[in-house]
Structure 1
Amino acid sequence: MAQIQPAGAHVEEVEWSTALLDCFEDSATCCYGFWCGPCLSCTVSGRMKECYCLPLCDYCNPAVGIGCCLGAPPCIPPAAFGLRVALRHKYKIKGSILNDLCVSWCCPMCSWCQMHRELKKRNTTPNVINIQNVVHMQPGPMMNQSTGVMY
């Protein structure tokens, strides 16, 4: 059920859980982004309930793709920018569209890594372990009525 905020109600915004260049906060994400950036960006897209292949538009576009892998692309990668804005709005993270635009253009891989770290921290679910006491009962010894011997 959706909650309706009254007009003029202020929603408290939070900071990103990690900074843009905090690769050592989660070295697994950093390695994932370094060795297979397109895979990382597709994972982020899927975790945001978007099409897994959406970020491939950034990599397949010749004007964007080579720049995404080597540094700043010549134009803004639309999937990186759009998903960053969507993630920031979904979790009410402080920032602006101009900041998202600059981050997506200057360092798209750092942006994808930051989004991945954010989703990992926010989508963690506690592990519930259900332990049941199981009692195995075996029938007691029986006695042969005719011989009086237990077996």
Structure 2
Amino acid sequence: TEPYFTTSHEDMSSQSGHSRHRDLVPWSTGLFDCCSDPKNCCITLWCPCITFGKIAEIVDKGSTSCGASGALYTLIAFVTAFPCIYSCVYRSKMRQQYSLEESPCGDCLVHCFCEGCALCQEYRELKSHGFDMKLGWHGNMKEREVGMSPVVEKGMRRDK
């Protein structure tokens, strides 16, 4: 099956003209389902900056790169020993974009007490929304463009 890209909460409400408030949906996987993606679980265990960078690039819609976000995460981890003060902001952004429930508790608490599990859950959530995490934001958008048919404007035809 082809990946699907769900639009963000803001995009949907502005397109439809409806209220910005929608029913919240549950996460596609549980917080402690880390081993459902063993490769990502291992990467996150040994180098969480990689997983975080990939998440941040997608959540920021390509305005920040995976490398820059991962480097900042690492710097904050070395300086403060609490990278969760940075990563929990992205959980909040992601929840807002996809109308996800704040569960099992507040975003900062989830990241402070279960940083690795939170990053793995966010990674899996973006995959469930159709993102190929290896491609980053711009790569996913190129893939999306390839999958779309070209727009044919009316009145544009060739006379013989």
Same fold flag (TM > 0.5): yes
Where structure 2 has 5 or more consecutive residues not aligned to the other structure, the ranges are 1-13, 133-143, 148-160
Cα deviation, residue 10, structure 1: 5.2
* Larger relative contact order (CA 8 Å, sep ≥ 6): 2
TM-score, length basis structure 2: 0.61
AA of the residue aligned to 1:2: Q
Equivalence map 1:8-87=2 (5 Å)? 11-48=22-59, 49=61, 50-51=63-64, 52=66, 53-61=68-76, 62-65=78-81, 73=82, 77-87=84-94
Where structure 1 has 5 or more consecutive residues not aligned to the other structure, the ranges are 66-72, 129-151
Q: For residues 98-125 of structure 1, what are the alpha-carbon distances to aligned partners after superposition, in whole Å with 9 as ceiling and x for unaligned?
A: 6101011112221111100100111258
1:2 alignment counterpart = 15
Cα deviation, residue 63, structure 1: 4.3
Higher helix proportion, which one?
2
Instruction: Write the distance in 2 (CA, Å) between the matches of 1:64 and 1:104.
Output: 15
Cα deviation, residue 82, structure 1: 0.9
Please state whether the residue corresponding to 1:2 is helix, strand or coil. Answer: helix
Instruction: Write the distance in 2 (CA, Å) between the matches of 1:124 and 1:57.
Output: 23
Identity value in percent? 24
Contact 1:64 1:77 (C-alpha < 8 Å) held by counterparts: no
Instruction: Write the distance in 2 (CA, Å) between the matches of 1:114 and 1:22.
Output: 7
Instruction: Write the distance in 1 (CA, Å) between the matches of 2:122 and 2:94.
Output: 8
Q: For residues 80-110 of structure 1, what are the alpha-carbon distances to aligned partners after superposition, in whole Å with 9 as ceiling and x for unaligned?
A: 11110011111101117x6101011112221
Instruction: Write the distance in 1 (CA, Å) between the matches of 2:73 and 2:27.
Output: 24
AA of the residue aligned to 2:112: W
- Structure possessing the higher radius of gyration over alpha carbons: 1
AA of the residue aligned to 2:52: S
Contact 2:52 2:73 (C-alpha < 8 Å) held by counterparts: no
Correspondence 1:105 to 2:121? no
Contact 2:49 2:73 (C-alpha < 8 Å) held by counterparts: no
